Structure 1
Amino acid sequence: MTRKFDAIIIGAGQAGPPLAGRLTAAGMTVALIERKLVGGTCVNTGCMPTKTLVASAYAAHLARRAADFGVQVGAVTIDMPAVAARAHKVTLDARGSNERWLAKMERLTFLRGHARLTGPTTVDVDGEELTAPRIFLNVGGRAAVPDMPGVSEVPHLDNTDMVVLAQVPEHLVVVGGSYIGLEFAQMYRRFGAAVTVVERGDRLIAREDPEISDAVRQILEDEGIAVRAGANCIGFAPHADGVAVSVDCHDGEPVVIGSHVLLAVGRRPNTDDLGLDAAGVETDAHGHITVDDGLQTNVPGIWALGDCNGRGAFTHTAYNDFEIVAANLLDGEHRKVSARIPGYALYIDPPLGRVGVTQVQAAESGRPILVATRPMTRVGRAVEKGETKGMIKIVADAETKRILGAAILGTGGDEAIHGILDMMNADQPIDVLRWAVPIHPTVSELIPTVLQSLAPPSADPKQA
């Protein structure tokens, strides 16, 4: 017997449950299917547990620096089982809250199982057939395992393993010099592990401008993290002390021996066992579901939200996908993904807050641009906190006088960046923010000052 609904949602990540809430509130009957854990990556293996671990690592780091603030403490030690238990509790609390919310949702049928499309309006859940005129795919992604020599012959970890690791590795080798890898690298260095970051590219977080990448690398190296960039021949082999990781870099030893190896080289969408072919849903070369500006697939009545659509790999973009779909379906709006201004953060310490395009990307447009930077050593709030590493960088259009992008690498950068993000979303000219009167002492108060220093790149006052 086929069960009929007004809508079917596959996946209970960041977009699925709130979409179910909007649809059921509008009077629709909804089936929400989850084969593993409610909350998706963010709640279970991503944002929440990792940022909880980051907080523990920061506490240890600050305790070691106590004397810098005139505070005397004893030896700082790490109780890793307690650290891991704290992170796990945050996950359990968040997941439980979501499950209780779904359980109380009227007109919602919540099913646990593996859902597969069997047609453009039908879904099989472990042998039971469901049908609906609207189907929403929110299946997320998982860590990618690269096809590197020897990778299948050695034990290795991914982000899912790391958030429940209850021991401090003797030597953690992180393969991948981007967001996930660098956050774990710093936190475990602060927990007491020796850490080496191996990156195939010539620099870390290559999407950023070179001076931002260089500053991030310096922050990590100042804490004793070894960075092996330009690793053009990464491979793995068993070793008596763990795993031998070949790097073949221009400088340094060609092999690094680690007790543990973390693979942080990207993620892949959970679309390979979703039955997309049966419904005629198209994907790109990386397995992401192809969607239009309203997040609809090529099949009428099927939408894709979150990491599986390749239009954003963050919790906030997944949630915004839900907002776009709900606004268009239920509120008569015409919201578009292309109108979204990209923003994200790297949660090392100090954090990097990013919005819009980089200087390199802006220059590629061919339009005249303005650039300004200011080191955090000249930000009073950073000096007062004794956290002066990093910089503020803003890129603007010389003709329209609109901010095109910004990076705040420094204490509070992940929060301060929102003042710029809001101005960009409001499509306001530079002078509007230039004449704002921000609160002292904050990091944000320096943004108007930096804007005064905007100049063509050739005359960019690097230390303005």
Structure 2
Amino acid sequence: MKTYDAIFIGAGQAGPFLAARMAEKGMKVALIERKYLGGTCVNAGCMPTKTLVASARAAHVARTGGDYGVKISGPIGIDMKVVRKRAETVTMNARNGLTGWFSGMKSMEVIYGHATFTGARTVEVNGEVLTAPQIFLNVGARPTIPDFPGLADVDYLTSTSIIQLDTLPRHLVVIGGSYIGLEFAQMYRRFGAEVTVIERGPKLASREDEDVSDAIEEIIASEGIAVHTGAENIAFAKAGDGITVSISGKPDIKASHVLVATGRTPNTGDLGLDKAGVATDKRGFITVDERLMTNVEGIYALGDCNGHGAFTHTSYNDFEIAAANLLDGGDRKVSSRIPAYALYIDPPLGRAGMTEKQARASGREVAVSKRPMSRVGRANERGETKGFMKIVADAETQEILGAAFLGIEGDEAIHGIIDAMNAGTTYPVLQWSVPIHPTVSELIPTIIGDLKPV
């Protein structure tokens, strides 16, 4: 049996950084990864997909150049092999960077293999048993595959496998109208494919307020993407070299490719958690307390597998919380984290805090202000006026409760709200800041000035 100060299972965006902190302090740590360093973000998430989004935007800008007085002779061509290679290069650079970093740490051992618990303090990997007083799980999640009729009989894509595609689909059908599905839908439409989005719920991006969801659908539809919401009885069948997709009340859709983007499932089912006594919820997420420890003393769950966020930045913040509490004498809690994320369609959605619906349901006296991007100078100058900016506040305490910026640079401008909320700044204080012109962020004080109780 090999003994360590700490064992890390999974090398996503939380565990490896905490392992590195411990190794720098001279602690003996084992980092176990069954496949690739970097987790979903580096290998099948943020980095490759946002690289693909950038290629798709370049095609869109070239295609619409005439609107800006830029003339390009002939049609815009897409070399999908180059597109894929560019994304692969970004991934490999990041993965290799991690490999090089960890190889220089004398007290860290990187082990490739599948780890399973044999007890509350022991794990087995590659036939060896390892033990440590502290064990950290950072095993991430994978695409959820629903039991649709006929789906198992066709060759479908997931958000992981589609990034390996080096040919352009004739007609891509996306099952799932949420964040991942929408990004790929717009991306492949801009590459030149026919695209259809099928969503079982009544709205796209159903987590958002209705006005945000409606605006997202308008943006998607304006680029020629067919959208079917409220879809029932989704089924699949082989059809020659393609796939027939059927939904109630609609003509059959003849797809060349199908992307299933219906959520994520935690990679917790094959860890032997029962042998360690670690509890999970009904969806398989590992239950943790405010400091990310499971119900078993000394075992922690970080990142997507604990159900407290499904983003790289929340996973990294899990590392920061654990490092502060275990190494720096801090007392940080998950509940202190203000929810924030982005949807990377173009224009993007930046979100922070509560939605308007959540704020109203909280029983507070709510004030709301909203401004269309068509009234934002920077958006008009750039010729990108789709979407709007909305801020929600507590009219009594003057606390900023949340915001949704759907529009050009919304993913960047939202940080003005995130920072103010983290600092506990009331909205009258933020109203009197003097922002830079011309920017999207300069509208924040103006929108705050228009806050009205609802």
* Matched letter for residue 308 of structure 2: R
- Mean CA deviation greater in 408-417 or 146-155: 146-155
- List runs of 5+ in structure 1 lacking aligned partners: 458-464
* Deviation string, structure 1 residues 293-346 (Cα, Å, up to 9, x no partner): 000000000000000000110000000000000100011111000110000000
1:7 is matched with: 6
Q: CA deviation at 1:226?
A: 0.2
1:300-311 to structure 2, matched below 5 A, reads 300-311=297-308
**RMSD of aligned alpha carbons:** 0.8
Q: CA deviation at 1:147?
A: 1.2
1:370-385 to structure 2, matched below 5 A, reads 370-385=367-382
2:210 is matched with: 210
Alpha carbons 1:41, 1:140 under 8 Å: kept: yes
Mapped pair 1:284 → 2:281: yes
1:364 is matched with: 361
1:425 partner SS: helix
1:391 is matched with: 388
In structure 2, distance between residues paired with 1:376 and 1:267:
32
Alpha carbons 1:246, 1:254 under 8 Å: kept: yes
Q: CA deviation at 1:46?
A: 0.4
Mapped pair 1:33 → 2:32: yes
1:403 corresponds, among 389, 400, 423, to: 400
2:62 is matched with: 63
Seq. identity, %:
63
In structure 2, distance between residues paired with 1:241 and 1:436:
59
* Deviation string, structure 1 residues 178-230 (Cα, Å, up to 9, x no partner): 00000000000000000000000111000100111011100010000000001
* Matched letter for residue 421 of structure 1: I
2:178 is matched with: 178
1:53 partner SS: helix
* Deviation string, structure 1 residues 415-456 (Cα, Å, up to 9, x no partner): 000000000001110011101111000000001000011112
1:97-108 to structure 2, matched below 5 A, reads 97-108=97-108
1:438 partner SS: coil
2:248 is matched with: 248
1:108-187 to structure 2, matched below 5 A, reads 108-187=108-187
Q: CA deviation at 1:241?
A: 4.9
Alpha carbons 1:176, 1:197 under 8 Å: kept: yes
In structure 2, distance between residues paired with 1:311 and 1:147:
26
Alpha carbons 1:44, 1:91 under 8 Å: kept: yes
In structure 1, distance between residues paired with 2:343 and 2:195:
18
Alpha carbons 1:43, 1:95 under 8 Å: kept: yes
2:432 is matched with: 435
1:163 partner SS: helix
* Deviation string, structure 1 residues 97-120 (Cα, Å, up to 9, x no partner): 011111111310111111011111
In structure 2, distance between residues paired with 1:79 and 1:156:
22
In structure 2, distance between residues paired with 1:372 and 1:98:
44
In structure 2, distance between residues paired with 1:247 and 1:45:
29
In structure 2, distance between residues paired with 1:185 and 1:39:
25
In structure 2, distance between residues paired with 1:147 and 1:398:
46
2:31 partner SS: strand
- How high is the TM-score relative to the length of structure 2? 0.99
In structure 2, distance between residues paired with 1:240 and 1:399:
63
In structure 2, distance between residues paired with 1:201 and 1:335:
37
Q: CA deviation at 1:254?
A: 3.7
* Matched letter for residue 23 of structure 2: T
In structure 2, distance between residues paired with 1:174 and 1:336:
37
* Matched letter for residue 270 of structure 1: N
- List runs of 5+ in structure 2 lacking aligned partners: none
In structure 2, distance between residues paired with 1:26 and 1:362:
44
- How high is the TM-score relative to the length of structure 1? 0.97
Alpha carbons 1:241, 1:257 under 8 Å: kept: no
* Deviation string, structure 1 residues 218-261 (Cα, Å, up to 9, x no partner): 00100000000010211111112511111215xxx342221100
* Deviation string, structure 1 residues 145-194 (Cα, Å, up to 9, x no partner): 10111111111000111111101100000000000000000000000000
1:462 is matched with: none
Mapped pair 1:355 → 2:352: yes
* Deviation string, structure 1 residues 81-112 (Cα, Å, up to 9, x no partner): 00110011000111000111111113101111
Alpha carbons 1:157, 1:263 under 8 Å: kept: yes
1:232 partner SS: coil
Alpha carbons 1:435, 1:448 under 8 Å: kept: yes
* Deviation string, structure 1 residues 246-289 (Cα, Å, up to 9, x no partner): 1215xxx3422211000000010000000100000000000000
* Matched letter for residue 39 of structure 1: G
In structure 2, distance between residues paired with 1:126 and 1:265:
33
* Deviation string, structure 1 residues 323-379 (Cα, Å, up to 9, x no partner): 000100011111000110000000000000001010111111111100010000000
Alpha carbons 1:241, 1:258 under 8 Å: kept: no
* Deviation string, structure 1 residues 27-73 (Cα, Å, up to 9, x no partner): 21100000101000000000000000000000000001111111111
* Deviation string, structure 1 residues 5-34 (Cα, Å, up to 9, x no partner): 000000111112111111112221100000
Mapped pair 1:421 → 2:423: no
2:342 is matched with: 345
In structure 2, distance between residues paired with 1:68 and 1:292:
54
2:443 is matched with: 446
In structure 2, distance between residues paired with 1:248 and 1:448:
47
* Matched letter for residue 383 of structure 2: G
* Matched letter for residue 349 of structure 1: D
Runs of 4 or more off by more than 3 Å in structure 1?
Answer: none
Mapped pair 1:78 → 2:78: yes
In structure 2, distance between residues paired with 1:356 and 1:456:
18
1:188-207 to structure 2, matched below 5 A, reads 188-207=188-207
